[in-house]
Structure 1
Amino acid sequence: MNLPIKRYDLPQIMFGVLFIALMTVASIWIVQPFILGFAWAGMVVIATWPLMIKLQRLLWGKRFLAVIVMTLLLILLFVLPIATLVSSAIENGAPLVQLAGNPSSLHLPDFSWLRSIPLVGHKLYSGWHSIINGGGNALMTKVQPYVGQTASWFLIQAGHLGRFIIHCSLMLLFSALLYSRGEHVGMGIRHFAVRLAAERGDAAVILAGQAIRAVALGVVVTAIVQSVLGGIGLAIAGIPYATVLTVVMFVCCVAQIGPLPVLIPAIIWLYWTGDNTFGTVLLVWSCVVGSLDNVLRPVLIRMGADLPMLLILSGVIGGLFAFGMIGLFIGPVVLAVSYRLISLWVNEAPEPERDFHQIARSLDE
């Protein structure tokens, strides 16, 4: 039996694909200013959705009341503290502005306090000045341009406060919309995923949601708690620029380094200036804050999947370079979702044989 030959209209296919590509590019171009804000809002809503459902039950089943309460909580507990920290970092960055504008003003310190160290103080002071006289200033002359460029880059990143606040506002707006229509949006995303890859697409969306919740709760919330508590300890102990150091602590906590790289130098400085009382208080407080992630993170991350530390660190650094301050939140989430989806795809295949010598012999045969 002769089957009919199916003819393809090549120009129709070509122009159809071209039209779809043009519409896709135009749509992305139009919504580009809102992509980061929507992605941030999606991460926040997915992470806090169970809390919103509990609030709705407490508020007589009224969704709009739960949405109002959640929006106010986001403003009070999330947006305002971050905006205040960034604003304070910019206000206290005057020395960096001066350094970036005039790198030649940077000189090696004298370290005259070295002479007060018993036994070895005078030797250390003499050795330090020998390094300076033997070429330390020449070394600093070579380093100064790079210091100025680095300071300028950090100031440019910190100077994007206006754009950051705009994204915060968009995040609040999109979060309120997603809270009010969350079930419909979620079902629409799952329906689109099923249309693309059937049941595998639906499973991929669910795994992506688990990864987002794991990062948002297990990493970001833990970092916020640790940095805020550490900042309170610095402020009580009278450490200068406590707000700026809190920002640094937050970045270190998101990068899984922890708050101790900021707290330990502050403790040493307190003891060195003779403030033994506050030095001891901050030491005890630092032990509590530094070990808090070992208790808090597993509790928060259990609803998702444990993620490699290198993945989080890469997401933080790469997100910071790619998207600025918002990248601290979006970068780890993007890598976590990709990691979970790739792991799912790889695990669908059986593991290779452990005896690679046997595999090599079978290839020879």
Structure 2
Amino acid sequence: MYPNPAPSSSGSNHVIHYALQLLALAILLVWCFNILTPFLIPLLWGAVFASSFFPIHEKLIGKYGWKNSLSATFITLIALSVLIVPAVFFMIAGAGEIKELAEGIRDGDLKIPPPNEQIKSWPLIGERAFAFWTEASTNLTLTIQEHQDQLKPLLLKLVALLKNTAGGVLLLMISIIISGIMLAYEKEESDFARKFLVKLAGRKGEDMAGVAKQTVQNVVKGILGVAAIQTTFVGIGLLVADIPFAGLWIILSLILAIVQIGILPVSIGVIIYIWTTGDSVTATILTIWMLVVGLMDNVLKPIFLGKGASVPMLVVFLGAIGGFIYSGFIGLFTGAIVLTLAYKLGEEWLNSGTQREG
């Protein structure tokens, strides 16, 4: 029997050397992450836009022979005009309405029309709603003073929501510009993403890159696109019918549509208001309009999402709400996309493992 050889000092040195390398790499990654943290949301949103605009970019380059930079610039300008101009219009309208509401409450000039007698017949809340509405229409200032503890937090939340929305619109504008730059360098970015995912996930990495790209496009078109279309039509109906504080209801409709609750709560409130205060013709037309707009997602989502591209609505809901809590208004969009993407990639990974075992 020969004695066991003493452990090699060179082996220990190698372990220490690798450990120091990993430590230095971890420090470098954390450092880079902290530096890039202020830009993560616009970069992420820019990547989402770039992925969504890529089919148009590809067609302009391949079919019509446009230069890469010209196509990216054209798409960026169109996106800014289509997405930002309506958003800014609704923001200005919402801000003006909040200012008007605050000034009316302060000066005592705000008037509420008296309620319709039919409100008494509503189940459970009819009598109480009629009494409160009557009190508010008779002496709004006194009503506000009596209920200021309940109303003040609500008004503060509306102002905070408007500020978050304004910040989201600005962030959206920056993100669209970033997406144009990404489109201009699309080939280099695609090669980098493909190499990174292949290095990270092996041969499946390239397939996962395709899944990620398709998922982002489906979510943007099938969830965010449908929400934007619905909200636009809601806005048209509210503005034409001259509904008070239309800007606020439009913003609320957009949020409800994104989180998959739908515009039904806004539609119910608007329909009740128009039938109790407006003429029957306007009320009938607006009711039909809101019902049709509310059913639009049943037609548009299957068209935009395509077969087999849907995910559980709970995933979208949690992503949108969690994103909103984490990063404000823009998180409604990025949260839904990131969580949906993670779900699809996880599903792809689990299915690939099952197929390999089979």
User: Structure 2-normalised TM-score?
Assistant: 0.80
- Provide, for residues 260-299 of structure 1, a one-character-per-residue CA deviation record: whole Å limited to 9, x for no partner: 3212321222221241111111122123211211111111
**2 CA distance for matches of 1:48 and 1:215?**
13
Helix, strand or coil: the match of 2:244?
coil
Q: Which residue of 1 aligns with 2:139?
A: none
Name the counterpart of 1:26: 31
1:208 aligns to what? 212
Deviates more, 1:185-194 or 1:269-278: 269-278
Aligned residues of 1:164 and 1:325 also touching (Cα < 8 A) = yes
Cα pair distance change 1:183/1:269, threshold 3 Å? same
* Aligned position for 2:47: 42
| Aligned partner of 1:271 among 256, 268, 275 | 275
1:33-112 correspondence to structure 2 within 5 Å: 33-57=38-62, 59-94=64-99
Note if 1:291 corresponds to 2:295. Answer: yes
Distance 1:181 1:268, change over 3 A: same
Distance 2:120 2:332 in 1: 47
> What is the Cα deviation at residue 161 of structure 1?
5.7
Give the Cα separation in 1 of the matches to 2:113 and 2:334. 42
In the TM superposition, residue 83 of structure 1 has moved relative to its aligned partner by 3.2
Residue 320, structure 1, aligned to residue 330, structure 2: no
Q: Displacement, 1:185?
A: 0.4
From the superposition, tell whether residues 312 and 125 of structure 1 become closer, same or farther in structure 2 (CA, over 3 Å).
closer
C-alpha contact 2:91 2:166 (8 A) present in aligned 1: no
1:188-203 correspondence runs (5 A): 188-203=192-207
Of residues 124, 128, 131, the one that matches 2:127 is 124
> Following the alignment from structure 2 to structure 1, what is the Cα–Cα distance between the partners of residues 331 and 91?
14
TM-score by length of 1: 0.79
SS at match of 2:203: helix
CA 50–252 in structure 1, closer or farther in 2 if over 3 Å, else same: same
Matched, 1:174 2:178: yes
- CA distance change for structure 1 residues 39 and 268 in 2, over 3 Å: closer, same or farther? same
- Cα pair distance change 1:120/1:302, threshold 3 Å: closer
Could you tell me how far 1:249 is from its partner in structure 2? 1.0
Pairwise CA RMSD:
3.6
1:34–1:170 Cα contact (<8 Å) kept: no
The residue type paired with residue 84 of structure 1 is: F
The match for 1:229 is: 233
Alignment of 1:147-166 (within 5 A): 148-149=152-153, 151-160=155-164, 163-166=167-170
- Aligned mates of 1:146, 1:119 — CA distance in 2: 23
Q: What 5-or-longer segments of structure 1 have no aligned partner?
A: 133-139, 352-365
322 and 111 in structure 1: CA distance in 2 versus 1, 3 angstrom threshold:
same
Length, aligned pairs only: 333
Residue 226 of structure 1 and its aligned partner are, at CA, apart by 0.6
Change (3 A) 1:15 1:147: farther
Distance (Å, rounded) in 2 between the aligned partners of 1:91 and 1:319? 27
Question: Residue 80 of structure 2 contacts residue 173 of structure 2 at CA under 8 Å; is this kept in 1?
Answer: no
Separation in structure 2 between the aligned mates of residue 212 and residue 330 of structure 1, nearest angstrom: 10
In the alignment, is the contact (CA less than 8 A) between 1:210 and 1:304 conserved in 2?
no
Q: Which structure 2 segments of 5+ residues have no match?
A: 136-143
Q: 1:129-154 deviations in whole A, cap 9, x for unaligned?
A: 8xx9xxxxxxx999965754454345
Q: 1:143 to 1:306 in 2, by over 3 A?
A: farther
Instruction: Answer yes or no: is the 8 Å Cα contact 2:61–2:67 preserved in 1.
Output: yes
Q: Deviations over 1:271-329 (max 9, x none)?
A: 21241111111122123211211111111111772011111111111111111111111
Identity %: 25
Change (3 A) 1:118 1:253: closer
Amino acid corresponding to residue 71 of structure 1 in structure 2: T
In structure 2, relative to structure 1, the CA distance for the partners of 1:98 and 1:202 (3 Å cut) is farther
For residue 186 of structure 1, report the CA deviation from its aligned partner: 1.4
CA displacement 1:98-124 (0-9 Å, x = unmatched): 99x99xx9xxxx99746x459979x93
Q: CA offset at residue 343 of structure 1?
A: 1.5
Quick check: 1:47–1:212 contact (8 Å CA) kept in 2? yes
Deviation at residue 207 of structure 1 after TM alignment: 1.6
Match of 2:339? 335
SS of structure 1 residue aligned to 2:66: coil
Aligned AA for 1:80? V
Q: In structure 1, how many angstroms separate the alpha carbons of the residues matched to 2:129 and 2:35?
A: 64
